[in-house]
Structure 1
Amino acid sequence: MASQTKPHLLAHPVSSYVQKVKIALREKGIEFTTEVPSDISSTNDGPLHESNLRVEVPVLLHGDTTIFDSTIILEYLEDVWPEPALLPKGPAERAKARMIEDVCDTSYEAVNWGLGEIRTFGRADDSPDLKAQLEAKAEQQTSAIQAWLEQQLVGPWFNGEHFGWADICAAPMVNRSFTYGLAPKEGSKLKGWHERLSARQAVKSTFDEYENGLKAFRDPRAKEAYLSGMRKREYRDHRLEWMVKSGAVSIVEKGIKNNNIRFTWP
């Protein structure tokens, strides 16, 4: 049976999309193995290039099945391992969980990713005014998204008494805001949610791996590898949109000129 085969995950622990899948696997009690593919963020051929045209993590390898895109992976896990269920039963509640996922995967992730470009990879270090402008926009937008998420909390979790899909999808995004000093306000419902969330073993293990992965990104050699073009950061649609709307077209142009960014295939 497919459910008896141990899944293998092509992943990087810092990726919010990877964290989402790891939490789901652990919440369902599914044993799995992970691998940081040798060709991640590079132009070299390898397992990631072979697995999907977008050359993105996460990728789930399960028997003869290969699946990319974190949302589709979560749907697959729910189909193959239906218990415990992550999606609520009611159509309206399921739609709510999916809306929260969509906001987190696009709007929230774009802001977090933009902050990473600025603070970790120094894309605006040569323009202090632009850096300040982008950080101010990111702070304002993070606050707005967190306020919206707070409105969605109707109990301890996003769908009431039961931890599930929406909590898993929001977890890496909100947690990354802590990394950038943009945590939810003390005493807020969202801050309380994050505290409950972080106490769950599936989440704690995943967040610990994220923190360890950050150490590698903070190594000056990692920054140099990306800025030199040895590795390339992917400007996916929503990330590129954030850079353009936030006034950072010059950063995109510089990345193209220096050949140290890439776009979603083709």
Structure 2
Amino acid sequence: MASNGKLFLHDHPVSSYAQKIRIALREKNIGFDSKHPLALALEDNGFKIFDSTVILGYLEDKFPEPPLLPNDPKERAIARMIEELCDTQYEAVNWAYGEVEWCKRATGELAEKLIKQVQHQTATILSWLSEKLGDKDYFNGDSFGYADLCVAPVLNRSVYYGFGPAEGTALQRWHIRIQERSSVKQTFAEMAEGAKTMSSGAMVTAFKDGSSKREYRDHRLEWMVKSGGIDVVLEGLNRNNIRFSWPDAAA
């Protein structure tokens, strides 16, 4: 916990979950300090909470101005559905690309197969998001808000990987538009800087020497299995360089 009374964010700037919290804090002009462990958590005067959705809800409750969720119940429900999709299926697609390209979990034909799955599933999700955006400037309507900050990190990761929305589309224009906001611009810059290390080969070394393990949680594990990467999971288990969510299984 920061001694100056600021909120303290345990996170990593490349994490999509962490990015949406950083954007929310900056949109609300809430000062915070941070460090980069493996797990995302927020500390407020000794009170610690985890899970990005729970953290966003806490910030909305404790710091209601400016509000990030729309007033209309239906629009609030849509925003939360968008968040759910981005936090599960979309995050898993982006994560899988990192497993192949950054961590070299697959090579040759298997790598090609998994990357094609990333491209296909990304396109499917972008089509769904395009329908939700429609002709609005923002997913929240006339102003940037909750749904936008949930989409921003995952869609930006697709752009970073080269799988973003087609040029000239409403979704591509939205991506350009949100980067005019200082909260998004700063958060995206932090992500790009952190990604340099992760894509430099350091991730491969960390797994080989056993100093790091990647978490194969729920939707990520599902993605790898359904997309034809079960051998990736089995090899990770054999090499003991993947992990699962708490609680740990009995020895």
Q: 1:187 matched to which residue of 2? A: 168
Please give the alpha-carbon distance, in whole angstroms, between the structure 1 residues aligned to 2:34 and 2:242: 26
Q: Displacement, 1:159?
A: 2.3
1:118 corresponds to which of 75, 100, 124: 100
Any conservation in 2 of the 1:16–1:173 contact (CA below 8 Å)? yes
Unaligned runs of 5+ in 2: none
Q: 1:24 matched to which residue of 2? A: 24
Q: 1:44 matched to which residue of 2? A: none
Q: Displacement, 1:178?
A: 1.2
Q: For residues 55-75 of structure 1, what are the alpha-carbon distances to aligned partners after superposition, in whole Å with 9 as ceiling and x for unaligned?
A: x22x10000210100000000
Q: Displacement, 1:143?
A: 0.4
Any conservation in 1 of the 2:43–2:49 contact (CA below 8 Å)? yes
Please give the alpha-carbon distance, in whole angstroms, between the structure 1 residues aligned to 2:236 and 2:190: 29
Any conservation in 2 of the 1:229–1:261 contact (CA below 8 Å)? no
Mapping of residues 208-219 of structure 1, within 5 Å: 208-219=189-200
1:85 aligns with 2:67: yes
1:259 corresponds to which of 240, 247, 251: 240
TM-score normalised to the size of structure 1? 0.89
Q: 1:160 matched to which residue of 2? A: 141
TM-score normalised to the size of structure 2? 0.94
Mapping of residues 158-237 of structure 1, within 5 Å: 158-237=139-218
Please give the alpha-carbon distance, in whole angstroms, between the structure 1 residues aligned to 2:207 and 2:49: 27
Unaligned runs of 5+ in 1: 41-55
Identity within the alignment, %: 51
Q: For residues 48-103 of structure 1, what are the alpha-carbon distances to aligned partners after superposition, in whole Å with 9 as ceiling and x for unaligned?
A: xxxxxxxx22x100002101000000000000100000000111000000000000
Instruction: Provide the aligned C-alpha RMSD in A.
Output: 1.1
Q: Partner of 1:176: helix, strand, or coil?
A: helix
- AA matched with 2:236: G
